[in-house]
């Protein structure tokens, strides 16, 4: 086994995403298109030079079991579960990492292959500590599935009965149980290659190998960004989210507590997978009924707060542009960086702290909603905020960290009490004996029941940017955004490319709308300008953009950049159902855009519930004194009128 020194940090290694020279050559060969004939279990096929045996088998519809392999990650070939027999070769080969460079004849399920796989599984089980029935991954564990597939009915190499490692629950987001680890290194490759954070690595060698952090410190003491992507790719229960469902049940069962839940669009597009639906089927309004069956007193739509975020963040951008272009204020921090992804915010705080001033001060929709629920909502309903318990259904394990940040108490109380992942809520619904697929649809509760399509698309990469552009373009030009983009679909910011850059000319300006007339007198200073924006998802791509900004490159000229910590955005969050793959994330995105198109109102500034909140409660408007106190992380004075 290979080893990484525990004294070697992520910053002293070569860039983790770099492949070996051999891998680069094979990829180049595949691009050249040279075809190689291969026979797998008697089935002939031609594949490009360098294609792995596993990929070739998948094209033929032949299943080869895997454990360390994952579609999102670079190859490791360490588990040996995928071994196959190649004619003329003495030893078995790992299908996931064996490149086809010459014609070969492969057998995937001979007696020798089956026996080897069974030995590997038995050896993994011999070092696996813990009872399956009490494991968070029971009936959804890849090792458990392999044991059943290969007829494991006894511990043939014995079983470890005593724990070797303490459970690490130091993080608000992620719990580590290394006695359930199978050393597949998926989490290591996720953290180093996919996210380029580098918190996890293989420590020591041989039988003493374990997965740990720098100097084997607790996860809560290192630079983990809490994104939970390692959880999504772990095949066993070695990694799981820090689960507060028992506390939520206690609150629901307490007659003195008023328990409300807000649900984000990404979990609604994915939670059906927990109940047998194929990816890409949103069950938004059936989920509302299920939540009421579980005992929640009110069910609210996070999309409302997403619309509120667009108003605050969009106006903040205009204020920064005014300071830079009109006031010639060199301290105006541009580009403005989005702040609604807590994993991304934590990444910036750890690795690019000098750019913290560039972060939007606007809180995430989750935290904005929490602040309103314990102020505006309690005032409307005559409730004591001490007895109101706010729960947030989110796709992201980092949301657990976010709601526990000490500054998130603008209401005078903890704004959001508990963050639930999609997986955790699915478990709660099953525990309540509810099948959401069989329930009638029901709407969200007032006074936050109205939302827009802009709030929905927050769930996918590029969605925050698209929602912001829909609003900012209409506020500034006085024209419908449909004049610029068909059906208000701002396609250039959509897609799963790692990084996107878009320029939008502002060819005309209109009158200042009443909602922001307290801040601006006119938009003449924007006429003829070109709005430059960027989008990045996954922190490896965020790193590329931030390094470009530091170097004075293309993205340093942007005015606004959207960052999401997770691949695909929130729909690929660390709290979403497993497994995850590019195809699954694409299906969830399709569901989100379909829901966006179903809304009559698709722009945040046209949401009547938002306008009502500004009229009744946030009376000094977006980025006003009260808004800054409740909805932003820092207070800054309002902008002055432009004369």
Point out the residues that are catalytic. Answer: 313, 316, 340, 360, 399, 402, 407, 570
Q: From CA 290, how far away is CA 274, in angstroms rounded?
A: 13
Phi-psi region of 487 (alpha: psi -120 to 50; beta: other; left: phi over 0): left
CA distances from 19 to 6, 43, 404 (A): 22, 31, 38
Give 184-243 as a DSSP string.
--HHHHIIIIIS-----EEES-GGG-EEE-GGG--GGGTT-----HHHHH-SSSSEEE--
Residues ≥6 apart with Cβ < 8 Å to 287: 263, 268, 271, 436
Residue 446: phi, psi to the nearest 5? -85, 160
Q: From CA 371, how far away is CA 308, in angstroms rounded?
A: 12
Residue 579, preceding bond cis, omega within 30 degrees? yes
Q: From CA 204, how far away is CA 212, in angstroms rounded?
A: 10
Q: Are 52 and 84 in contact (CB under 8 A)?
A: no
- Burial track 81-102 (b if 16+ CB lie within 10 A, e otherwise): bbbbbbeeeeebbbbbbbbbee
Q: From CA 528, how far away is CA 550, in angstroms rounded?
A: 27
Q: Are 396 and 228 in contact (CB under 8 A)?
A: yes
- In three-state secondary structure terms, 602 is coil
């Amino acid at each position: 086994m290979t080893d990484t020194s525990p004294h070697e940090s992520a910053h002293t290694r070569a860039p983790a995403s770099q492949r070996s020279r051999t891998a680069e050559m094979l990829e180049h060969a595949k691009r050249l298109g040279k075809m190689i004939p291969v026979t797998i279990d008697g089935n002939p096929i031609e594949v490009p030079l360098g294609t792995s045996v596993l990929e070739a088998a998948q094209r033929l519809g032949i299943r080869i079991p895997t454990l360390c392999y994952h579609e999102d990650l670079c190859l490791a070939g360490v588990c040996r579960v995928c071994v196959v027999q190649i004619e003329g070769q003495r030893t078995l080969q790992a299908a996931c990492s064996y490149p086809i460079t010459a014609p070969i004849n492969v057998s995937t399920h001979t007696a020798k292959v089956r026996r080897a796989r069974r030995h590997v599984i038995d050896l993994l089980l011999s070092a696996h500590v813990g009872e399956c029935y009490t494991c968070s991954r029971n009936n959804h564990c890849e090792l458990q599935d392999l044991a059943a597939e290969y007829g494991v009915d006894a511990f043939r190499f014995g079983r470890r009965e005593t724990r070797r490692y303490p459970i690490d629950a130091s993080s608000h987001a992620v719990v580590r149980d290394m006695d359930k680890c199978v050393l597949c290194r998926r989490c290591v490759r996720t953290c180093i290659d996919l996210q380029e954070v580098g918190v996890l690595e293989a420590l020591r060698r041989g039988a003493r190998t374990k997965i740990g952090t720098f100097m084997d410190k607790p996860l809560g003491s290192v630079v983990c960004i809490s994104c939970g992507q390692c959880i999504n790719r772990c095949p066993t229960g070695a990694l799981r989210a820090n689960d507060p469902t028992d506390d939520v049940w206690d609150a629901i069962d307490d007659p003195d507590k008023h328990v409300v839940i807000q649900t984000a669009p990404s979990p609604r597009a994915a939670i059906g997978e927990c109940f047998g639906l194929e990816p890409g089927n949103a069950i938004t309004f059936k989920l509302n009924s299920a939540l009421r069956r579980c005992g929640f007193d009110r069910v609210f739509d996070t999309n409302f707060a997403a619309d509120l975020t667009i108003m605050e963040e969009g106006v903040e951008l205009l204020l920064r542009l005014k300071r830079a272009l009109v006031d010639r204020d060199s301290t105006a921090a541009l580009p403005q960086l989005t702040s609604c992804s807590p994993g991304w915010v934590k990444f910036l705080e750890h690795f690019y702290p000098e750019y913290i001033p560039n972060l939007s001060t606007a809180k995430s929709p989750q935290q904005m909603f929490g602040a309103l629920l314990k102020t505006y909502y309690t005032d409307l309903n005559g409730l004591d905020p001490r007895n109101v318990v706010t729960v947030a259904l989110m796709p992201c394990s980092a949301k657990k960290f976010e709601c526990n940040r000490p500054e998130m108490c603008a209401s005078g109380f903890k704004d959001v009490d508990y963050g639930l992942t999609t997986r955790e809520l699915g478990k709660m619904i099953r525990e309540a004996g509810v099948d959401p697929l069989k329930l009638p649809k029901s709407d969200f509760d007032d006074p936050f029941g109205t939302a827009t399509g802009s709030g929905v698309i927050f769930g996918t990469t590029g969605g925050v940017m698209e929602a912001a552009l829909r609003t900012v373009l209409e506020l500034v030009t006085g024209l419908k955004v449909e004049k610029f983009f068909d059906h208000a679909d701002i396609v250039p910011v959509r897609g799963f490319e790692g990084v996107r850059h878009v320029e939008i000319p502002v060819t005309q300006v209109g009158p200042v709308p009443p909602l922001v007339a307290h801040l601006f007198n006119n938009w003449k200073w924007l006429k003829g300008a070109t709005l430059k924006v960027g989008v990045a998802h996954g922190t490896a791509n965020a790193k590329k953009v931030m390094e470009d900004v530091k170097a004075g490159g293309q993205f340093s000229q942007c005015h606004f950049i959207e960052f999401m910590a997770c691949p695909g955005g929130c729909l690929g969050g660390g709290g979403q159902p497993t497994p995850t793959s590019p195809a699954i994330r694409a299906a969830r995105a399709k569901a989100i855009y379909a829901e966006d198109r179903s809304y009559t109102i698709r722009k945040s500034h046209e949401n009547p519930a938002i306008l009502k909140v500004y009229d009744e409660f946030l009376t000094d408007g977006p980025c006003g004194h009260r808004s800054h106190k409740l909805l932003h992380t820092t207070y800054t004075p309002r902008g002055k009128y432009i004369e």
